[in-house]
Structure 1
Amino acid sequence: MANATHNTGRRSGGSAWASGGVVFAGVLMLIEGLFGVFNGIAAIAKDDVYAAVGDYVFKFSLTSWGWIHLILGILLALTGLGILRGAAWARGLGVGLATLAVILQFIWLPYHPLWAIISIVIGVFVIWALCTDHGRASSV
């Protein structure tokens, strides 16, 4: 038990990584949310911003995708702020929204492949960081 937390309040090395990861996850969610808002506005404002995809299984109009990205982006940004403030509600909601964002980015792959892959990686990191740190105080 050399690596366990004792009553001194010190955490193990792995927990310190996870705690720092939570702060970084909050920042990433905030940035991902802002980019989602910008993607949504671009897709709503003009349908020819993104390349047209032929017969794709998950076919939505780009305006529909724009609204999806806009709403999810706002929710991600607000949840990221909640995580940075240490709100208890933000951790569970962050995991759920990051999971939803990963699924939607996978569906969005044909429209914007590079950014979708980057967003998927960010989402997986956010999920990991929020699920692994159990010792962070929620009164920050």
Structure 2
Amino acid sequence: MSEESVVKRGVAQGSAMGGAVLLVTVGVLELLQGLSAISKDEVIVTGVDYTYQFDLTAWGWTHLVLGAIVTAAGIALFTGAAWARGGAMVICAISILVNFLWLPYYPMWAITIIALNAVVIWAVSTWHPDRDRSRTAISTGEING
């Protein structure tokens, strides 16, 4: 195995674990955002006339549930399971959509979460643990053939 492929594999695995950490972080931010909306915090603007305007409590519960799911997906992503990678990408896409609709209420928070979700999608889509395991097994001589 060339030194370049070892470096690429290490970077991909590191970015995936970094993606898992970011996913848990996004989940916690979503939870805090939901709690802030449910408690009708003064930080959130409610006076806009917006096409996708829901009751602030409904947005809060949406973010709270989404945050719990995102956090669970982030914790599952630490296992490296293929379903966790796919689930993380889907839940990040949903989170991007929800936060895009949330933009008028708290733009900087929503943009931050959208950017973090995009990084997570990139990180988990570039990591291929099955391919990395088979290359490691071949290079160490565990597979005869």
1:23 aligns with 2:13: no
TM-score of the superposition, structure 1-length normalised? Answer: 0.83
Counterparts of 1:53 and 1:86 in 2: how far apart (Å)?
A: 43
Paired-residue identity, %: 36
Provide the aligned C-alpha RMSD in A.
2.0
Which segments of 5 or more consecutive residues in structure 2 lack a partner in the other structure?
A: 134-145
For residues 1-39 of structure 1, give each alpha carbon's deviation from its aligned partner in whole angstroms, at most 9, with x where no partner exists. Answer: xxxxx4x8x844333222111101100111111111111
Counterparts of 1:49 and 1:63 in 2: how far apart (Å)?
A: 14
8 Å contact from structure 2 (residues 48, 104) kept in 1: no
| Misfit runs of 4+, over 6 Å | none
Counterparts of 2:100 and 2:9 in 1: how far apart (Å)?
A: 30
Counterparts of 2:85 and 2:115 in 1: how far apart (Å)?
A: 18
- In terms of fraction of residues, the more helix-rich structure is 2
8 Å contact from structure 1 (residues 47, 62) kept in 2: no
Which has the higher Rg, Structure 1 or Structure 2?
A: 2
Q: What secondary structure sits across from 2:86 in the alignment?
A: helix
Paired residues, what number? 130
Which segments of 5 or more consecutive residues in structure 1 lack a partner in the other structure?
A: 1-5
8 Å contact from structure 1 (residues 47, 63) kept in 2: no
TM-score of the superposition, structure 2-length normalised? Answer: 0.80
Map 1:120-139 to 2 at 5 A. Answer: 120-135=114-129
